[in-house]
Amino acid sequence: MQLHHRKPVSLLLTATDLPMWSGLETVGTLYQKDQEQFHLLMTEPTVSDRESLVGSHDVTTASPITTPRLLWLEFSPYQVTLTMQGQGQFSYRHVWRQGLYGTSRYWLQSDTMKLEDGHFQLRNFTRSLTLEAHPLPTFLRVEYELWTANMLLGHYVLNLDIRH
């Protein structure tokens, strides 16, 4: 029988060479697959978008369009996969492996673009992968570079804190 635990989590992504960061505080469901493999399922708090109406005056509607997003993190001391799926127009999947190149795939979707037309892939290089788990995980850190062809797009750090 697979055990699961509801835990408060903090997920933070920062760029070390760009003025960019994004954070998330939520409650996640932690699943233990085996002694070293875990899955963490999180629902990102609602993201509000505003539609802009173009006419004689630029007007922003007062009613937000809500887009819940599902974050699925599969991790072990050797590999991390982060997938974001939502009802919105953007999804992604990152695969990181210590000391190796992995993939970062992005899917864009709109009313005029089919899903298979709106995807692209970048490479990432995992410089460091740290997991603290005794017996359940409390901390995960992934330091990586993001690449397109031969161009470096920046250095990033993903930190996950799981409070018990």
pLDDT band at 1 (very low <50, low <70, confident <90, very high): very low
Q: Is the pLDDT of residue 55 over 70?
A: no
Domain of residue 41 covers: 4-47+62-162
Q: Is residue 52 part of a domain?
A: no
Hey, CA dihedral for 43, 117, 142, 95, is it positive or negative? positive
pLDDT digits (tens, 9 = 90+) for 70-101: 899 999 999 999 999 866 677 899 999 999 99
Mean pLDDT of 54-73: 59
> Number of structural domains, the chain?
1
Task: Say how far residue 9 (Cα) sits from the centre of its chain.
Answer: 13
Chain center to CA of 78: 18
Q: Are strands 101-108 and 79-86 parallel, antiparallel or unpaired?
A: unpaired
- Is the Cα torsion angle 82, 85, 88, 92 positive or negative in sign? positive
Instruction: Supply the pLDDT for residue 51.
Output: 44
pTM of the model as a whole:
0.81
> Does residue 96 form part of some domain?
yes
Residue 45 reports pLDDT greater than 70: no
Write the secondary structure of 28-61 as one string of H (helix), E (strand) and C (coil).
EEEEECCCCCEEEEEEEEEEEECCEECCCCCEEC
Residue 53 within a domain: no
Residue 104 lies in a domain: yes
Which has the minimum average pLDDT: 26-40, 52-66, 113-127? 52-66
Mean pLDDT confidence for 40-66: 56
**Cα–Cα–Cα angle for 150, 153, 158, nearest 5°?**
130
Residue % of the chain over a pLDDT of 70 = 77
Tokens of 69: 């997003």
Please check whether residue 138 lies inside any domain of the structure.
yes
The CATH number of residue 11's host domain is 2.40.128.20
Rounded CA-CA distance 158/103 in Å is 15
What is the mean pLDDT of the segment spanning 26-49? 85
Residue 49: per-residue pLDDT: 47
Q: Which of 46, 66, 75 is nearest to 139 (CA)?
A: 75
The region of weakest confidence among 42-46, 48-52, 68-72 is 48-52
pLDDT of residue 118: 74
Residue 126 dihedral angles phi and psi, to the nearest 5°: -85, 110
Report, as an integer, the average pLDDT of 29-55.
Answer: 74
